[in-house]
Amino acid sequence: MIKELLGVISEIPTPDALIQQIVSTASNPNTSAKDLERVISMDVGLSTKILKLVNSAYYGLPRKITKLSEAIVIVGFKTVRNLALSVFTYSALHSKTTFVDHDKLWSHFMFTAILSEQIAKSIGFMNREEVFLGGLMHDVGKLAIDLIFPTYLFELSKTSKELGIPLFEIEHELGVEPHNEIGAELLGMWKFPEEYIQVAHLHQKPSLNPDSQYIEMCCIVHLADLYSNILLPESSLSYGNLYLDPMVFQTLGIRPSTLKVFYNDFRQIYERSQDLIFGGVENETGI
């Protein structure tokens, strides 16, 4: 039923024409830095927010970047695209006051994106910017549910906490449309490429479709989601024992011993990325 409502409920934000143009321009191999700067500069507020994100400690730039053209050249087209979509996602999460803590949910989105990028870097996965975006959008189904039926998501999360059972298991037990399927449906409506739809659909359990063309990306985000829940407990609105799909080891070529190495590394990454995770786009720019 929720899937059927996605296209008709006005509370569901959609990426506006400018965001879509930024995505299209940044993805075009023939685009120049000037082309991308020209598109983003059409919205001064968006430009300011992107610059704020670029200057976060996570990117570790040696000096403050004050010009959009510099940001595009230094961090790259796709990173700037991801930051523009981060601004949109933050705005979508905070477009309506409901019963859940949207700041917490935002921190889970962003930290999962950061950890997805770091895992990709660690295992030599080439498309790190794509994995970042997959991590950012992996739980967008919770956003959709919250905006359509806010009491429903609140009660799911409350039950998850009281019973100590992960939210996706409760959805399965109730036989309701799970947030991963709703998220995949929403990204399809937004005309996101198939890899992001697959990640949203499979991030809870990649082995549901081991033959997916994007199984490696799905496993990366699945693992990042796990660590995000460990290091930022409760931020995803889910409680109880965490699930690690065994398929991760074979697909990503890692050993169980690697998990402890990742944990130690990610604790440090958490420390230097807190301004991006918790500050994000609102402190100085006010959206």
144, 186 contact by CB (below 8 A): yes
Q: What is the pTM of this model?
A: 0.92
- Higher-confidence residue: 154 or 7? 154
| Secondary structure (H, E, C), the chain | CHHHHCCCCCCCCCCCHHHHHHHHHHHCCCCCHHHHHHHHCCCHHHHHHHHHHHCCHHHCCCCCCCCHHHHHHHHCHHHHHHHHHHHHHHHHHCCCCCCCCHHHHHHHHHHHHHHHHHHHHHHCCCCHHHHHHHHHHCCHHHHHHHHHCHHHHHHHHHHHHHHCCCHHHHHHHHCCCCHHHHHHHHHHHCCCCHHHHHHHHHCCCHHHCCCCCCHHHHHHHHHHHHHHHHHCCCCCCCCCCCCCCCHHHHHHCCCHHHHHHHHHHHHHHHHHCHHHHHHCCCCCCCC
Distance separating alpha carbons of residues 204 and 147, to the nearest angstrom: 21
Look at residue 1 and tell me whether its pLDDT is greater than 70: no
pLDDT bin (cut points 50, 70, 90) of residue 130 is very high
- What are the pLDDT digits (tens) for 148-193? 888 999 999 999 999 999 999 999 998 889 999 999 999 998 889 9
Looking at per-residue pLDDT, the higher value among 238 and 282 belongs to 238
Domains for the chain: give ranges and CATH numbers: 2-279 (1.10.3210.10)
Residue with the bigger pLDDT between 252 and 10: it is 252
285 has pLDDT over 80: no
Mean pLDDT of all residues belonging to the chain: 91
Average pLDDT over residues 34-60: 91
pLDDT at 80 over 80: yes
Tokens of 99: 């019963």
Within a 10 A sphere around the Cβ of 92, how many other Cβ atoms? 19
For the cut 50, the answer to whether the pLDDT of residue 25 exceeds it is yes
Q: Which residue do the tokens 């950890």 mark?
A: 115
The one-letter amino acid code at 137 reads: M
pLDDT at 15 over 50: yes
Q: How confident is the model at residue 284 (pLDDT cuts 50, 70, 90)?
A: very low
Residue 4 reports pLDDT greater than 80: no
Tell me what percent of the residues of the chain surpass a pLDDT of 90.
Answer: 72
In which residue are the tokens 């024992």 written? 241
The arithmetic mean of pLDDT across residues 245-264, rounded, is: 96
